[in-house]
Amino acid sequence: MTLTTEETKAQPTLRSHTAPTTRRTGVLPTEGSLLERPPAAAHLSDEDVRRLGAELDAIRDEVIGSRGARDAAYIRRMIKIQKSLEFGGRVALCFSRYKPAWIAGTGMVALGKILDNMEIGHNVLHGQWDWMRDPDIHSTTYEWDFVAPARGWQHTHNDLHHTWTNVLGKDRDVGYNILRVSEDQPWQKRDIANPIVNFALSFVFEWGIASYDLEWDMVKAGYKSREQFNDDLAALKQKAAKMVVKEHIALPAVAMLTGSGRRALGGAVAANAIRNVWAHSVIFCGHFPDGVDYFTEEMIDGETRGDWYVRQMLGSANMSGSPLFHILTGNLSHQIEHHLFPDIPSNHYIKIAPKVRDICRRYGLPYTTGPMGLQLASTWQRICSLALPDDFDRKRPVASLRAAFAR
């Protein structure tokens, strides 16, 4: 296995995301040595990392070799449940002048959207089900019920985030270019609004991601052409128009026949908001709670496959819960396993999680996990605390903020 690189002239900074100085165009080597390992992995030797990588490769190979009819039945069952929920919910909203129908319809549509985004769409777009060769769930043809066009999302999420997980200046998902989520990101005046911005983002998460995927900052910096931006914007407009017509025009129009038009519109808006808040919470709990590490570019200089595995484990967090909970999170409650193996079927994460946890224990690496409530509280605490300057004096808050703004 080899790794080739292509050098560019970009000089990335910690808050201004720019084109990576090195673009990976191959498979990481199994042998080699990092110039600087993260503190949590500093005790590992090169041989330790090589053996750790071989163990994780073996887990992946075992899953890949076991894929078959049971997995195919699982994803088809999920799709059937999702379609039934969404259809039934829309029918109920057509009679939403009656409160029970509104509650049932809104809940069913929201649940259908959650399944579509989390357990189906996200995982299909990672190529987890490409081996079935079914064009309806193939990563190159699938389009999800999310305003962000699939191809643009695959670029920012699959190509960039999963390659450069939590590397400051390379992984644009670290704060999505609007939030400060790491002490290593220099404080800016706008960060004072961290909690307000994050709260608002949770309700319109799909629109925030769609805007983020356009890479406005890359265009401004000159790393993305105006032509490519215009093409991406046109795709977003087309996708958004279809979804607005479907959710906020067609459904209420049909519901008007039963005198339920206004309530159906409210139910559709509420269902989208529920889906957005849930997706936002799950994703943030997997990336930003206490215990998640961030990395500088120096820490990935000379990175091997084993080192990449270590970075994924240190840069992700899990959530504990029931099998139903894991399904509703798209198995992103196993964020560590997902970052290690983004292209294996998600229903296997719960099975391999004990093996991954044992590897972390044997190699002295943290395995960050906990109930969703605690992870969410930890995430919000981090976002709120990082809204303040590093030298903030709680005894003199006004004076501290004035000094920070003056600087």
**pLDDT value of residue 150:** 95
> Which pLDDT does position 28 carry in this prediction?
79
As a whole number of angstroms, the distance between CA 373 and CA 186 comes to 28
Q: Is 156 left (phi over 0), alpha (psi -120 to 50) or beta?
A: alpha
Angle at 89 between CA 96 and CA 112, to 5 degrees: 145
The rounded distance, in Å, linking the Cα atoms of 376 and 178 is 19
Helix (H, G, I), strand (E, B) or coil at 167: strand
What is the structure's pLDDT at 4?
35
Task: Using alpha carbons only, give the angle 6, 8, 12 rounded to the nearest 5 degrees.
Answer: 120
pLDDT of residue 393: 65
Q: What is the pTM of this model?
A: 0.90
Residue spans of the chain under pLDDT 50: 1-18, 20-25
Res 53: pLDDT: 96
List all residues 6 or more positions away from 250 whose beta carbon is below 8 Å from its beta carbon.
none
Give the CA distances from residue 230 to residues 214, 215, 243, in Å, rounded to whole numbers and listed in that order. 9, 11, 20
State which H helix or E strand residue 236 sits in. Answer: helix 226-244
Residue 386 CA neighbour count, 13 Å, CB half = 23
DSSP string, 269-336: HHHHHHHHHHHHHHHHHHHSSTT---B-GGGGTT--HHHHHHHHHHT----B--HHHHHHTTTGGGHH
pLDDT score for 14: 45
Neighbours of 25 (CB within 10 A): 10
Name the token pair of 190: 């706008």
* Among candidate residues 320, 361, 314, the one with its CA nearest the CA of residue 339: 314
Which uninterrupted H or E stretch holds 7?
A: strand 5-7
Please provide the DSSP assignment of 356-381 as one string.
Answer: HHHHHHHTT------BHHHHHHHHHH
Count CB-CB contacts under 10 A for residue 263: 23
Q: List the structure tokens of 188.
A: 């800016």
Percentage of the chain modeled with pLDDT above 70: 92
Amino acid 222: pLDDT: 87
Give the largest CA-CA distance in the chain.
Answer: 70
Q: What residues does each domain of the chain span?
A: 59-385
**Two tokens, residue 20:** 């990576």
In sequence order, which residues have a C-beta less than 8 Å from that of residue 190 and are 6 or more positions away?
none
pLDDT digits (tens, 9 = 90+) for 358-385: 999 999 999 999 999 999 999 999 999 9
Alpha-carbon distances of 22 from 10, 39, 186, 333, rounded to whole Å:
9, 23, 23, 31
Query: pLDDT per residue over 83-97, tens digit each?
Result: 999 999 999 999 999
| pLDDT score for 26 | 53
Please check whether residue 386 is in contact with residue 194, taking contact to mean a CB–CB distance below 8 angstroms: yes
Query: Which helix (DSSP H) or strand (DSSP E) does residue 6 occupy?
Result: strand 5-7
Q: At what angle do helices 372-385 and 194-203 cross, to 10 degrees?
A: 140
Q: State the pLDDT at residue 29.
A: 78
Neighbours of 366 (CB within 10 A): 15
User: pLDDT digit string (tens) for 319-347?
Assistant: 999 999 999 999 999 999 999 999 999 99
- DSSP assigned state of 176: G
User: Is the CA virtual torsion 41, 47, 50, 54 positive or negative?
Assistant: negative
Question: From CA 406, how far away is CA 247, in angstroms rounded?
Answer: 47
Residue 22 to residue 24: CA distance in whole angstroms: 6
- How does DSSP classify residue 140? T
> Which sign does the torsion angle of CA 106, 246, 126, 200 carry?
negative
Q: Amino acid identity, residue 264? A: A
Question: What are the tokens at 230?
Answer: 């215009």
